[in-house]
Amino acid sequence: CVGCHQLGQESTRTIPAQLGHFESGADAWMRRVQSGQWGNAMTNRLAGQLGGVPYKYFGDWTERVAKGELPKNKPPRPLGIERNIVVTAWEWSAPDKYLHDLISSDRRKPTVNAYGPVYGAPEYSTDNMPILDPRTHTVSSFRMPVADPNMPLSLGPGHAGQVKVTAPSPYWGDRAIWDTRANQHNAMLDGKGRVWLAASVRGRPNPAWCKKGSDHPSAKVFPLDLSSRQVAVFDPKTKQYDFVDTCFGTHHPQFGYDADNTLWLSGTGQVAGWVNTKTWDETRDARKAVGWFPFVLDANGNGNLDEFTDAGKPAAAGKDARFNPGSGPYAVMPHPTDGSIWYTSGVFGGRPGFLRFDPRTRLSEFYQVPKEAIGLRGGDIDKNGVLWASGSSGHLISFDRRKCEGPLNGPNATGNHCPEGFAMHRYPGPGFEDYPNGSAEGSYYTWVDHHNTVGLGENVPISTANLQDGFVGYKDGQMILMRVPYPMGFYAKGLDGRIDDPNAGWKGRGLWSASGDRTPWLNEFGKGARPLAVQIQVRPDPLAR
């Protein structure tokens, strides 16, 4: 549940009366999760993948709450730096829409777009991209087009949402409130202030140049037939919106540190995928700018890319081996200095871990998280090349490849060859009684502040604290919780940092994020609540002006 919205606020710890009367809490939950355009997926997850077991426990939980049972742990009051937090929030978009994320600057140079507008990512909810001007406190929007205005909605098979509701919602009835084609999931600014979007520009079937028989260099190695989301670029100065047709799917975009300003994408399935934006600017030809390559382990250990066996096939003497990343790359993390590209991988299926791709050799490496970590989701890389990710066990996971003692390639380098590179750092918050060493926190994403844009210092990893209304930074071995106190129920799926004025002290910098849950109406405001854009700043002391 916490992959899409918070769990535990008043809206979820009680059963809406509009759903009707039920003989048991389990029955109420069985009906509840069928609501809306994501009802089929919630039902498939709980009743199918998990065999119906969660209904019993969710039902027991809400029944105990209804009888007056209280949590066994009381949240601590803010301490130390936590008392210095300043939160500014704006409402934007519409009450029946949601936002996945926002972007405010260029990750590599966070003074880009100083004091400028921030751009929302409405994902499946709408084609209208909200734009907030924080100086004037005004909100506008840009309607994102697609190449074929008659293409099907970006809902249904291959997407994380349906065209029709499964069962009426207690908030919106049987009205389908999501209606997107552009399906803009995430964005990143470049050094010119342009907004590069992971967005659909067409339907799912790929053009011929992506497929088998094409003379495109990438298609010759690994042809691709489908992609549910591609790339678009929006120029705020001219309002021009260009389509960059990729053969691979897209999810999170991040720019590399190379001279070509290569845009690396996640959500690419079985391949590493990129857009050479220098080539794109020069040619406006996606076929020349777009490339991809499968993940291949150096199984023979010679340091070179050789003929490789397909994923799942027996090893063959002298050959390398294609690696199956399961559900594929999720977070994408260009290394700041060595040119490699890292991903969190296997988030939704397959072996969870960190996946490395070297654009120069076209070889990959995979490092599976320890079993006690269970899994991982969003992650980032710091300036030293250390990886950080939100762990399923209620920990911030770190991985330092420099600590690996054994060979990083060869027949035994298949995922479990560097346990010494991992460390786990417990998130704040209560844990489960039978799992006392973990936190119940279900963090969605981790981002590293390279440039002290927030005010906690350089190279500080910051995770979304999705069950604690905000974010948590990890500095000098300590967790620092930064809450959005009002309205209760804030839930983010990502974050960004910007420096508006490096000489203005704490007022000239800050963390930016959006309420990223798919259900804004579950927060304290209830139906009618709109998504939020928030800026978090850190004062030197609680009374600083």
Quote the pLDDT of residue 116: 99
**What are 40-86's pLDDT values in tens digits?**
999 999 999 999 999 999 999 999 999 999 998 888 999 999 999 99
Separation of alpha carbons 300 and 306, rounded Å: 9
- The structure tokens listed for 26 are 């389990």
Separation of alpha carbons 40 and 8, rounded Å: 22
Which residue is it, tokens 């509701």? 165
**What are 146-176's pLDDT values in tens digits?**
999 999 999 999 999 999 999 999 999 999 9
- The structure tokens listed for 21 are 């009367």
DSSP letters spanning 231-289: EEEEETTTTEEEEE--SS--S-EEE-SSTT-EEEES--TTEEEEEEHHHHHHH--HHHH
Quote the pLDDT of residue 432: 87
Nearest CA to 123 out of 179, 190, 204, 202 is that of 179
Separation of alpha carbons 334 and 344, rounded Å: 12
Prediction pTM value: 0.98
What b-and-e string marks burial along 386-403, b requiring 16 or more CB atoms within 10 Å of the CB?
bbbbbbbbbbbbbbbbee
Give SS3 for 463: strand
Quote the pLDDT of residue 436: 78
Q: Nearest 5 degrees, angle CA 52-CA 54-CA 56? A: 90
**What are 484-537's pLDDT values in tens digits?**
999 999 999 999 999 999 999 999 999 999 999 999 999 999 999 999 999 999
pLDDT category, 435, cuts 50, 70, 90? confident
- The structure tokens listed for 32 are 């509840």
**What are 205-259's pLDDT values in tens digits?**
999 999 999 999 999 999 999 999 999 999 999 999 999 999 999 999 999 999 9
Mean pLDDT in residue range 342-346 = 99
Task: Count Cα neighbours of 481 within 13 Å in the Cβ-side half-sphere.
Answer: 19
Separation of alpha carbons 427 and 468, rounded Å: 11
CA dihedral 450, 452, 458, 459 (to 10 degrees): -40
Quote the pLDDT of residue 523: 95
Q: Which CATH architecture has domain 79-538?
A: 7 Propeller (2.130)
Give SS3 for 49: helix
Instruction: Give the residue extent of every domain in the chain.
Output: 79-538
* Whether the Cβ atoms of residue 101 and residue 493 lie closer than 8 Å to each other: yes
Bond prior to 487 in cis (omega within 30° of 0): yes
Quote the pLDDT of residue 437: 85
Fill in the amino acid letter for 490. F
φ and ψ of 281, to 5 deg: -60, -35
Average pLDDT, the chain: 97
φ and ψ of 126, to 5 deg: -165, 165
Q: What one-character DSSP code corresponds to residue 492?
A: -
